[in-house]
Structure 1
Amino acid sequence: MMCIDPVEFEEITIGRIYEFLQDLRKCAQGTMYCHQSVDGKEARGSGRSEDTKNPQRNINVLNVYSNSDCLCIHSKPVETKTNEIPVAQDILRMMDLKKTVITFDALHTQKVTCNIIASKKGIYVAPVKENQSGLREEILEKFKKYEQNPKKKITTLDTEKRNFRFIILPSNYDDCGFTGMKTFVEMVSHTRKKAITMYFISNTKDTELIAEAIERRWEIENNFHKEKDTYLNEDDIHFTNKTSINNIVILNNLALALAKIYGSISTNEMRVAKKEFKAFPAECISKVQLIMKDTEIIKQVKSNLRRKKR
């Protein structure tokens, strides 16, 4: 694994599947927006304990996951002397972000990161927490002023478990260094016993698009990271070489993607289909290869992939 170039490996495997799924999405949905999430995952079997000759902390891998395609499109290890922020920025710089909405946790609510996304024609939906005190206070103050002035409009949108309020900013509003910032968002989540209030900024005025992105921002954790642990037992794999870890992660990304595509064409439920894929991988992959060449069932694959995600 340490002799394989992970960039080339990802391009010829994940890249090919991503192209296929993009074609499916365009066929089924036209030119609708794609939603992608950025988040890190610790490779728990990549370290060495403190009592060894060369102790090493577990390596963190930064992932970009396409919620729209159920596919991790990029994975890159984070160097021990840095953090996720520059790694995410490097990946985003090389991506085509047109018609793409990017979400992430508050660590990545950085001016440079948001500027990269906006400059590449993408949309950011960025959480603002206490550590961004100046921006957060500005958002809170803006909502307070709008609430006290009946001439000011606060747009509302409610979903099953969340309530949203939006303030569309004036065109001459100072973006505070966050390129194209157009909207302040307040979200109250009722997914737990105690309601949680969060704030976001975005460079789009499309309130429905923003709400959908916020609703789906943790699919990378629930539909990807957890599945790699429970279905592929990724934490049980032990490698300390960074290149080997990167390639193992990409290989698991590929396996999970193929399993989900197989599940979308199987007559069985997704959980049963994934068991079949694990038991008979060669046969299942052969069926996936056939459908990737058969344009007659493109719509079926895409619609089933979304409907049978779990």
Structure 2
Amino acid sequence: MKIENMNIYQVKPYANNPRINDEAVEYVANSIKRFGFRSPIVVDKNNVIIAGHTRFKAAQRLGLTQVPVICAKDLTDDQVKAYRLADNKSAEISKWDFEKLDIELDDIDMDMSQFGFDEMHFDLDLKDSGGDIDQEDEDDGYYGDARENTYNQYNLNDYDPNRTDGRFNIPTLAPIDYMPDELLGFNYATGSDEYEKGVHFFIDDYQFERLWRQPKKYFEILSRFDCMLTPDYSLYLDMPMAMKIWNVYRARMLGQMAQDRGIKVIPTLMYAEPDTYQFCFDGLPKHSTYATSTVGVIRDEEAKTIWIEGMEAAIKRLEPKNLLIYGSPIDFNYGDINVKHIEARKFENGKD
């Protein structure tokens, strides 16, 4: 069947398309941008789309003027309707072999979150998908495997209770006296060779959640760069306090794990309302370099107030030597702290 390039304005979406695909458009657009338009759109004799509505919307988002199409002129009207439904249904029925998928993802040195893989969670080592562990399972060692799986899930094999601080056993970090000249977002670092830059996490949490799930894989990548900041997990005001504590714990835990692997780690200041001050600075050393972001703060008076009050509390508690600020300057008296501003790159930022 012949593939031809057609003006995108000649291609017509099917008005009664039953498939809801808007959430997939971004990922398909990223795929086309990265790999090219490899799968043609199938249209009928009137140039109405039979298969490829998501690719069509992705092409529109990318501003393409031409798209590759296959014209199925030989199909009857009933066959067109049947093919359209069958094509969508086959994708819905297909499933992943998660074990093989995990192997494939581990072998790819590319940020697969841009294609939607960061939202998939794989429980690869479980013996079955549910049910209680019976005596036979416990006897043959499955209970032990389950415990190990849990430890791996929460990175407990790296947890050292003797290297924690505060009521909630927040992991401690070693001080650092260093500031990079440039920063690159973690969402771009996995596919970048700009190793002279430090890596920041001032992006939406979902874009770096995979670091917590697969730290060894991503520490190998991060070790190539000049340094890394600790992950900037969100501490939104309306979050449960337990979640805020968990996010501070995870940021410090990953920072400690990275330092143990020889990576230069700059702690990121994380705080919200004053109630968080009772734990959000735990594990942080005095007289160190710290990082923070002003992205999204300048134009929001409430956020600006929280930022200023939290910075005052951080300075009082930690007595920073250096402060690395990602984003626009804020009118604030830093005293004798050595301050460096790095302009935020808008296309990197998910939190702007």
TM-score scaled by length of structure 2: 0.22
Q: Which has the higher helix share?
A: 1
Higher strand share: 1
Relative contact order, higher structure (CA 8 A, sep 6+):
1
What is the TM-score with the length of structure 1 in the denominator? 0.24
Whichever of the two has the greater Rg, that structure is: 2
